[in-house]
Amino acid sequence: MTKAPTDTNSIAQGTQDGGIFALPTSHESAQIILTAVPWEVTTSYGGGTSLGPKAIFNASPQVDLFDIEFGEPYVVGYHLDDEDPFFMKTNSELKILAQSVIQNWNETGSLSAESKKTLEKVNIGCAEMVSRVYQKTLSVLAENKIPGLIGGDHSTPLGAIKALSEKYDGRFGVLHIDAHADLRLAYQGFTHSHASIMRNVCLLKTAPKKLVQVGIRDFCKEEYDFIKQNEGRISTYFDNDNKTALFKNAGWDTVCHRIVDELPENVYVSFDIDGLSPEFCPNTGTPVPGGLSFEQATYLLSVLGRSGKKIVGFDLNEVAPGENGEWDGNVGARMLFKLCGWAAVTNGFGK
Ligand SMILES: [Mn+2]
């Protein structure tokens, strides 16, 4: 079932006086700048990820600021910028159009002339979202701050990764934690589908030189073949292989070091919450059994954080609160705090 998002849920209408994690920060003083992109236009299954940023924000004051793994790097400031109203407004408009395209396709197996026009309109709107995220990320990077994005569905970080690709001339890697390979070419006709994000990353003019995927357990033959054709450039740690290693008594520490060793010096982390076991994200758009435990994911981040490599940016996406879902936001806020913390530590902030 897909719920139509409303435009009455922007973070600006949150109930708290403080910022995210109840930190009294400002854009000027903070070293990590978070951008909310409440967007789920091409969501194909469950809806609600456009409400993810608000759910994470609302749950965030619960997170204790002292962290046993990295102490108190939050003192460098994690600031959530005011939301660009374009995202929520356009998301509401385009999601209805995208659903009509999906419905036409599902019912007839092809697209009518009218649906093709609608599809074109959706694709143009999605390209505008990517462009806004790109411009925003460029401006954060120009201030020598670390960009973090809160989705929305997984189509949202493309513009951020594009900005980093240009800054580093492709000399960085993407650590992609997800249930899905997200390597589909224009899924359901949508150029900027959530299911195409990493394919679109690979298609960037200056693409990151390495993509390392973890937790992947839902993918089609086309995606599997694409991974095999791009050996060296793409390393996929399928959930099946990771679990087999664990069942045969390899330690998770060993698996994590293998994963992190594949990454270059500079790392962007793209974290789809459905990489975790569904018990940690019951309302996410496309949950899949299996996946990482919360601690396996945070341990992987800690191995990365202690490796001497640098987190140059990150996103957390596909968190959806559901009907009365405080839990998804709670898990999301805690994972976001870990991402912010390791990004701060690996950039030498807060030491
Ligand atoms: Mn996913």
The rounded mean pLDDT for the chain is: 92
- What distance in angstroms lies between residue 25's CA and the mean position of ligand 1's atoms? 31
Tens digits of per-residue pLDDT, 69-107? 999 999 999 999 999 999 999 999 999 999 999 999 889
pLDDT of residue 189: 87
**d(CA 194, ligand 1 centre) in Å:** 8
Whether the per-residue pLDDT at 351 is higher than 80: the answer is: no
1 pLDDT above the threshold of 80:
no
Alpha helices (H) in the chain, listed in sequence order? 52-59, 85-108, 113-142, 158-167, 197-202, 221-229, 239-247, 252-261, 294-305, 326-346
**Residue 287 pLDDT > 70, yes or no?**
yes
> Is the dihedral angle over the CA atoms 31, 205, 177, 46 positive or is it negative?
positive
Residue with tokens 């403080």: 18
Cis, peptide link before residue 152, omega less than 30° from 0: yes
Q: How far is the CA of 178 from the centre of ligand 1 (A)?
A: 5
Query: Residue 349: what pLDDT?
Result: 81
What is the Å distance from ligand 1's center to 179 Cα?
A: 5
Query: pLDDT digits over 194-207, tens only?
Result: 999 999 999 999 99
CB 122 within 8 A of CB 42: yes
> How high is the pLDDT of residue 14?
38
**What's the 141 CA to ligand 1 centre distance in angstroms?**
27
CB 85 within 8 A of CB 40: no
Please check the confidence at residue 327 and state whether its pLDDT lies above 60.
yes
- Cα of 286 to ligand 1 centre, how many Å? 6
Q: From ligand 1's centre to the CA of 54, what distance in Å?
A: 20
pLDDT in tens, 34-52: 999 999 999 877 789 999 9
CA of 26 to the centre of ligand 1 (A): 32
Eight-class DSSP state of 177: E
CA 58 to centroid of ligand 1, rounded, Å: 23
pLDDT of 48 reads: 92
The answer to whether residues 122 and 190 touch, using CB atoms and an 8 Å cutoff, is yes
Q: How far apart are CA 192 and CA 147, in angstroms?
A: 21
Per the CB < 8 A criterion, the answer to whether 242 and 148 are in contact is no
Cα(258) to centroid of ligand 1, in Å?
A: 22
Distance from residue 209's CA to the centre of ligand 1 (Å): 22
Separation CA 277–CA 56 (nearest Å): 18
128: closest CA among 158, 172, 170? 158
- Range with the lowest mean pLDDT among 43-57, 119-133, 282-296? 43-57
Q: For residue 27, how far is its CA from the centre of ligand 1 (angstroms)?
A: 30
C-alpha 310 to ligand 1 mean position (Å):
24
Domains and CATH numbers, the chain: 30-346 (3.40.800.10)
Quick check: 2 pLDDT over 60? Answer: no
